Amino acid sequence: MNFRVLIRVSLVASSSFFLLFPSRVFGFGKPGHELVGSIADNQMKQSPAALAQLKKIIGNLTLEQLAPVPDAIRSWDDLPDEQKALKKVTKLTDEKGRLVANFLPSKIRQQLWEYFRANLVKVDGQERHHVVHFDDVSVADGTPMKYEDGAIGTKADVDLVNTIAYCFHVLHGDAAPDPLNRKITPAIAVILLSHLVGDLHQPLHVGAEYFTLDGTKVVFVDPAKVPNAKPDRGGNLVAVRVPGFGNGHPAGPSKIPGANQENLHSVWDDDTVDEAMSMWRAQFHLASNSSRSGVILAAMANGSVKGVLPASSAGIDGVVRAWATEILPLAKEARARLIFSAYPANVDNPKHRPIAVSGVRSGEDYMAWAGEKISEELLRGGYRLAWLIQQAQLPVH
């Protein structure tokens, strides 16, 4: 979650705008977000009228293409202030001057730049365009485990849940005037929805454990009762690899067999998606090198939307809150299946993570379980993304 790619903006007379996608970002990694977008693209084909309206906003771009964009703009945070102050950017390159991912038309790329600049304002120490990606709702024992506006770990108007609802209203044409001036146009609303609905279905993006340390012991607590408790930031503060223990990996061996990433959040961003794809290929007897589109179509053909979609979009704000509440038990279980300890004091801790995974409970196959769960969430996310866009095209009553 902390990885950044240094970039620079070259302001030249050019009609091209380029995005550099970091390798590790908010929510699902790039492949996971693209999967959700691709599933939604396939679902949109079932509603030609809504698809036609969507094309009026984004042209021939796909949701699969757009889904990684909100993570990509995090790289701009490293730009010099004088470049961020410019109202127009005409060309984006990496630090070596290489042009990357030239696909956004000029009107949309300018709107994206304006959105980025409008959301550099800090909310609790983080840029607002970061805060929209998550909530830190407590999943502590004894808590309601329910998303509620104003609860600890939510951010009024600008968190993940509220931003999804607001983007829907922008597309639906009934958004209230925005006192925050976030510069969310219909095109930006589509870009954000294509990404944030995926974030909503990555459980560590919604639910958090709050903790204190008692020596080497990690104590998960109710933050309403222990005010000094800190959130694990969606597992970003939880090391899965601890340096200094060999195994040929510079960050040490994984304490979750089959996981490759260094922290728990990234395990759920990336490793679980890889596991889900492998499971789908095995389940549908597809070759290991079969195309992603083929895997998605097989998964959709064998999946079900029963119980996934509401009967209508009436009270959409409540619908999105219900989806957030729905994922919280999985966020709880994602941690409950693991054993934690304080990060060892005598080894290198370059990311300053206070917690480390020390094992998996009962020796169970954590990654197989997590991959199965994420396969379900990827489908839900894709179906729901398409449904939101379809419903947003309906006339306002």
> DSSP of 99-145, one letter per residue?
B------HHHHHHHHHHHHHT-SEETTEEHHHHTT---EE--TTS--
3-class SS shares of the chain: helix, strand, coil, % to 5 = 45, 10, 45
* Res. 13 pLDDT band, cuts 50 70 90: very low
Q: Residue 211, SS3?
A: strand
Q: What is the pLDDT of residue 249?
A: 59
Which one is predicted more confidently, 86 or 47?
47
Question: What is the pLDDT confidence band of residue 251, given thresholds at 50, 70 and 90?
Answer: low
76 confidence band (pLDDT: 50, 70, 90) = confident
Q: According to the model, what pLDDT value does residue 136 have?
A: 97
Q: pTM of the entire structure? A: 0.90
For residue 367, give the 3-state DSSP assignment. Answer: helix
Spatial neighbors of 312 by CB under 8 A, at least 6 apart, are 391
Is pLDDT at 125 greater than 60 in this prediction? yes
Counting residues of the chain whose pLDDT is more than 70, the rounded percentage is 87
Contact assessment for residue 195 and residue 27, using Cβ atoms and an 8 Å cutoff: yes
Q: Is the pLDDT of residue 361 over 90?
A: yes
- Strand bridging mode 7-9 / 126-127: unpaired
Residue 94 reports pLDDT greater than 60 = no
Whether the predicted pLDDT of 85 surpasses 80? yes
State residue 17's pLDDT score. Answer: 28
Give residue 395's pLDDT band: very low, low, confident or very high (50, 70, 90): low
Model pLDDT for residues 262-300, shown as the tens digit of each residue: 999 999 999 999 999 999 999 999 999 999 999 999 999
pLDDT score of 117: 93
- The pLDDT score that the predictor gives to residue 356 is 96
- Overall average pLDDT of the 218-244 stretch: 94
pLDDT given at position 247: 47
Look over the chain and give the mean of its residue pLDDT values, rounded to a whole number: 87
Query: What integer pLDDT is reported at residue 245 of this predicted model?
Result: 47
**Surface-to-core class of residue 247, CB atoms within 10 Å of its CB (0-12 exposed, 13-18 middle, 19+ buried):** exposed
Of 287, 286, 272, nearest in space to 369 by CA: 272
Complete domains list, the chain, with CATH: 7-392 (1.10.575.10)
pLDDT at 397 over 70: no
Going by pLDDT thresholds of 50, 70 and 90, the confidence category of residue 312 is confident
Handedness of CA 265, 267, 271, 276 (dihedral sign): negative
pLDDT tens, 166-220?
Answer: 999 999 999 999 999 999 999 999 999 999 999 999 999 999 999 999 999 999 9
> Percent of the chain, pLDDT > 90?
71
